[in-house]
Amino acid sequence: MRKLIFALLLIASYPCPAQDREEMSFSRLFEKIEQSKDSVFKLSHAKITFDPLTDQRFSNSDEVRDSVFIYKAIELEDVILEGRTRITYISFKRPVSLIESGPFEISNSSFAQEFSISNSQNFESYEKGKIGALDYLFSKNNFHNTVEIKFSGKEQGSPSYNAYQIYFENNTVKSDIKKTDFNEGIVEIWGYDITQVSIRNNSIKAQNGGVFINVSGASNNAFIVNNTINSERLFLYKDDEMGEFELRENEIESPVFIGFDQLLPNYIIDWKDLENKLISSTRYFIFHYDNYSDTIFRSNIHSEEFVNRYRNTHRIENEYSFNSETALLGFFRDHYISNHNRTSANGVFVAIKNLETERLAYLYRENPSFKAFFTWKVNQFLKIFSAYGTEPARAIIFSVYVILAFALIYLFFPNHWDSHGKERIKHRFLFFYKYLSLNKGIHDVYLEDQREEIENNQKFLKVLMAHKEEAPKFFFLAAMPLYGWTMSGTRLYSNLLKRIDFLKGAWKETDKKVRPLKSLLVVLIFVIAICYDLFIKILNAIMLSINTFTTLGFGEIPIKGLPRYLAIIQGFIGWFMLTIFSVSLISQLLN
């Protein structure tokens, strides 16, 4: 009995949910806003319901319609919206503040000043366990000249529990308003015990301020996907035990300050989003506090000038900042390696080596020595020709460039391999002059040009025939195919020229009516012959360059003049480049 009485007293003493919450429809709410004489409309402890008869314009329809303009500042506190009614086509000209209120779905609306959501206590609906699939959805809205867009949950350590979700998707944010505090941003999304944060397909331009995305309280998931972010700085913070995290397909044009202590294997982080932008937030804030006594610095700490001072100078010159930055990059590289993402891991390694190369240059300037200079230049050389050993193919590509560059030099100098030089081209001109001036076919001119070779072959045949019976028959039978082979090329080429010969006599005897056509054909044949000679000459130059590049010690260098000494330099370059390629390839294979 005593236990029953105690239980009844305990129930009687427990505060009952308030029953005096004011209820109104959406239409009634907007009527009250219009009728209010104050510049700030405040509403607290209310419940907004959907009336099908009067609230059709607040339905979930995507029908395009004119916007409703609200020129008063809006402050809603402890206001519950019943159902999942979407607020659409509203133009807010003054600040909007939602405190302990929701859930909201706002689309196709615009905000001219601050917009903030703050929830540090439980909603009445949440106390009853009625947590919906969507708590805050903001889509296709325009935030123009906004001072601040802020989503915040409870403060860390608060005993209350919030399990709401934020969807900020397909919105446009443009702001030129200057934020004077380094710890403030045009866009701020932060809080604790948030079930899910989805930031997708937004265009955010905050030229004079930062963007803060702090999902440290998102206990389950956070997705930052396919956004365009252009600001002075972007801060990214996340919870150490978050279930899923994605950062991918974003176009980020600002320094990215990272506050990550743990990267789980299932996290998806696209290195292209962070490449050449990553900065250690911890070391930057130390740099900030170390210079806070400087009045000029303090008043401009948020500016691009001082971010660049840290990124381009301080983190290179200060050993501790340099070590912190390389440790942060190594943190991401370890994550990619554990996920077998070799491309991103190589990208991070290149970033680490680039930072190291900049520090080596600084150390050489501070204390010049041959060792410091050589170490710095070796790093630069490895960067250019193999991306620090991560791209073996780059060494081959540069090798091709070297080969072609030296081949161009060899092209204008005679060498022992080249029988198609300028003398051969001069011979082409003489050949065509003879063909045009004599009353002979082009094949006759060709045979006359090959007379010495033909006579030698004829002498060879006569000797065979004269001594046919003086030696075993084997020698005659074996020599005749050789004779036919040596004469086959001449006969084949002669027959070809005979078939394409269209001049039929000397040029001066050609009928004037057909001269233009025959002139065109002769020029065409001549150009083809010259192009063939030039092609063979270029090919010889390339082959000479390849030979020199790959095997300098082949004996006598078959070239004269200055290129003879350049060939030695090319051989040294080839040895070095091929060594880099081999080492880089082996390194990648071993990894």
Least confident range of 18-27, 178-187, 378-387, 479-488: 178-187
Q: Which two tokens stand for residue 307?
A: 């971010």
Give the pLDDT of residue 514: 63
How many residues in the chain?
Answer: 591
Strands 165-169 and 268-269: unpaired
The pLDDT tens digits for 331-387 are 999 999 999 898 899 999 999 999 999 999 999 999 999 999 999 998 998 888 888
Residues 404-420 have pLDDT tens digits of 998 888 887 776 666 55
Token digits of residue 7: 């239980």
Closest CA to 223 of 190, 194, 253, 247: 247
* pLDDT tens by residue, 175-233: 877 766 666 678 887 766 677 888 999 999 887 777 888 776 555 788 999 999 988 88
d(CA 229, CA 236): 12
Per-residue pLDDT of 145-179, as tens digits, reads 787 788 876 555 554 445 678 889 999 998 877 76
Reduced to 3 DSSP states, what percent helix, strand and coil does the chain have, rounded to the nearest 5? 50, 20, 30
Structure tokens that stand for 222 in this block: 């956070």
The tens digit of pLDDT for each residue in 56-87 reads 766 666 667 778 888 999 998 888 887 656 78
- Find the mean pLDDT for residues 90-111: 87
- Are the C-beta atoms of 28 and 50 separated by less than 8 Å? no
Is 245 in a helix, a strand, or coil? strand
Q: State yes or no: pLDDT of 508 exceeds 90.
A: no
Task: Give the tens place of pLDDT for each residue, 516-562.
Answer: 766 777 778 778 877 887 888 888 888 888 888 887 555 566 676 77
**What HEC string does 56-121 produce?**
HHHCCCCCCCCCEEECCEEEEEEEEECCCCEEECEEECCCEEEECCECEEEECCEECCCEEEECCC
pLDDT band, residue 123 (cuts 50/70/90) = very low
Beta carbons within 10 angstroms of residue 168's beta carbon? 25
Is the model's pLDDT at 100 over the cut of 70? yes
* 242-299 tens-digit pLDDT: 778 899 999 998 888 887 777 888 889 999 999 888 888 888 878 877 766 655 555 5
Sequence-ordered list of residues with C-beta below 8 angstroms from that of 340, at least 6 positions apart, any chain:
none
- Residues 333 and 325: their CA atoms lie apart, in Å, by 12
What one-letter code names the amino acid at 371? K
Residue 370's pLDDT is 93
Instruction: List the one residue out of 384, 322, 320, 391 whose CA is nearest residue 356.
Output: 322
Kindly state the average pLDDT of the residues 239-243.
Answer: 71
The pTM of the whole model exceeds 0.75: no
**Averaged pLDDT, 36-64:** 79
Contact predicate 205/175, CB 8 Å:
yes
Residue-level pLDDT at 384: 86
SS3 category, 315: helix
CB 269, CB 263: distance < 8 Å: yes
